[in-house]
């Protein structure tokens, strides 16, 4: 069993006291950030054959009366204007950043800022995965957080988590954050 699957299962285990609770998670980020790799890793699927998402992928995991519905929406520039159509009733936003693609930090920061201002995401917690930490050129999560001015997001819970969607490293910590923040929010 992969580390990411163990992470997701441990979150579900912690939530097993709830009945029939559904959590709607929207997974966004620029193209090539690693969103689909992260989603496939969480679903224990092969992460070696990923193709760019042209629309969206949905994965649902059910266990102990809990259903996590994760919407992975493509990040190409032509698709981004449609992101807001998927935000209604969102319990958590997961935003994935390619930590090694410094040339696109400004662009990804602008997209995240626009999402934070969306009415349907008002007060919704945000988990930012600083992905591709396994690459030598990756910026540390703390540096990315500073560059994105995350400290200015005072109207919601947020967390930045260094990870590698390919290896699963750091994903467990992000899943634990989801468990501790989303579930408490929904009670």
Would the annotation count 184 as a binding residue? no
Would the annotation count 180 as a binding residue? no
Would the annotation count 132 as a binding residue? yes
Would the annotation count 31 as a binding residue? yes
Would the annotation count 32 as a binding residue? yes
Site of tokens 């949905």:
58
Contact 166, 150 (CB under 8 A): no
Does residue 47 sit in helix, strand or coil?
Answer: coil
76 is an active site residue? yes
Would the annotation count 29 as a binding residue? yes
Distance CA 160, CA 144 (A): 9
Q: Which of 21, 76, 161, 172 is an active site residue? A: 76
- Strand-pairing partners, residue 58, are 71
Would the annotation count 34 as a binding residue? yes
- In our burial notation (b when 16+ CB lie closer than 10 A, e otherwise), range 155-184 reads eebbbbbbbbbbebebbbebbbbbbebbbe
Would the annotation count 14 as a binding residue? no
Contact 14, 79 (CB under 8 A): no
Contact 166, 37 (CB under 8 A): yes
Would the annotation count 69 as a binding residue? no
Does residue 128 sit in helix, strand or coil?
Answer: strand
Would the annotation count 35 as a binding residue? yes
Binding-site members for GTP are 29-36, 75, 131-134
Binding-site members are 29-36, 53, 75, 131-134
Binding-site members for Mg(2+) are 36, 53
Active site residues: 76
């Amino acid at each position: 069993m992969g580390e990411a699957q163990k992470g997701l299962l441990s979150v579900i285990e912690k939530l097993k006291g709830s009945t029939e609770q559904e959590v709607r998670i929207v997974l966004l980020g620029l193209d090539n950030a690693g969103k689909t790799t992260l989603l496939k890793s969480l679903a224990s699927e092969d992460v070696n054959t990923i193709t760019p998402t042209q629309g969206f992928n949905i994965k649902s995991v059910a266990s102990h009366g809990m259903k996590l519905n994760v919407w992975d929406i493509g990040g190409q520039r032509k698709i981004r204007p449609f992101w807001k159509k998927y935000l209604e009733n969102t319990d958590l936003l997961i935003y994935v950043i390619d930590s090694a693609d410094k040339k696109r930090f400004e662009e990804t920061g602008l997209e995240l800022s626009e999402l934070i201002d969306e009415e349907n995401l008002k007060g919704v917690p945000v988990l930012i995965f600083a992905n591709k930490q396994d690459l030598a050129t990756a910026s540390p999560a703390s540096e990315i957080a500073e560059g994105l001015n995350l400290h200015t997001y005072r109207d919601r819970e947020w967390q930045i988590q260094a990870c590698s969607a390919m290896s699963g490293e750091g994903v467990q910590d992000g899943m634990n954050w989801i468990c501790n923040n989303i579930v408490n929010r929904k009670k």
